[in-house]
Amino acid sequence: MRFGRAVLWLAIVAFLLGGLGYFVSPVLFAGAAGISLGGSGATDFRATYAGIQLGLAVFMVWCVRRPGRLPAGLVMLGLVCAAVALTRALGILIDGSVIGFNLLALTLEVLGAALAFVAFVRVQGTVVESITLQA
């Protein structure tokens, strides 16, 4: 259970920092990915990237506060990280966009998915055991 909570707290911090970074300085973050933003593009980038990351962080905080919700938070984290990693990897192959930003992001996304799924399997056993012991 502690491992699962630690994974979610680590993800919460990462998503909060990323979301705040995208909100405060969208041009800097977009530039690191090779994207050029202007006027309404910065607003859309803020809304999409900051909004999604901050929303996911809030959901994970909600999940980590109760043991019964921990599995849902870990599944969400694992699926989101895996989906982003898969689409990024396909994008790299299709677009030939092998840059440091994409490689670092892909590595973090794969690591996030793996940690979330391992933690989920460990937490599931703990939750099932605790429910069985209470019955």
Cβ contact 46:22 at 8 Å:
yes
Closest listed residue to residue 30, CA positions, set 42, 20, 13: 42
Cβ contact 57:18 at 8 Å:
no
131 — pLDDT class (breaks 50, 70, 90): very low
Of 31-35, 112-116, 126-130, highest mean pLDDT: 112-116
Check pLDDT > 70 for residue 129: no
Percent above pLDDT 70 for the chain = 93
Q: What is the pLDDT of residue 49?
A: 93
Q: What is the pLDDT of residue 127?
A: 53
Q: What is the pLDDT of residue 134?
A: 54
Which string of DSSP letters, residue by residue, matches 75-104?
A: HHHHHHHHHHHHHHHHHHHHH----HHHHH
DSSP state of 47: I
Residue 110's contacts (CB-CB under 8 Å, 6 or more residues apart) are: 81, 85
Q: What is the pLDDT of residue 97?
A: 86
Task: Specify the pTM.
Answer: 0.85
d(CA 120, CA 110): 15
Angle value at C-alpha 113, between 110 and 114, nearest 5 degrees: 85
Check pLDDT > 60 for residue 121: yes
Check pLDDT > 60 for residue 116: yes
Q: Give the other-Cβ count within 10 Å of 78's Cβ.
A: 21
d(CA 87, CA 93): 10
Alpha helices in the chain (DSSP H): 2-24, 26-32, 39-45, 51-64, 70-95, 100-134
Check pLDDT > 70 for residue 17: yes
Per residue in 51-110, pLDDT (tens digit) is: 999 999 999 999 999 989 999 999 999 999 999 999 999 999 999 989 888 999 999 999
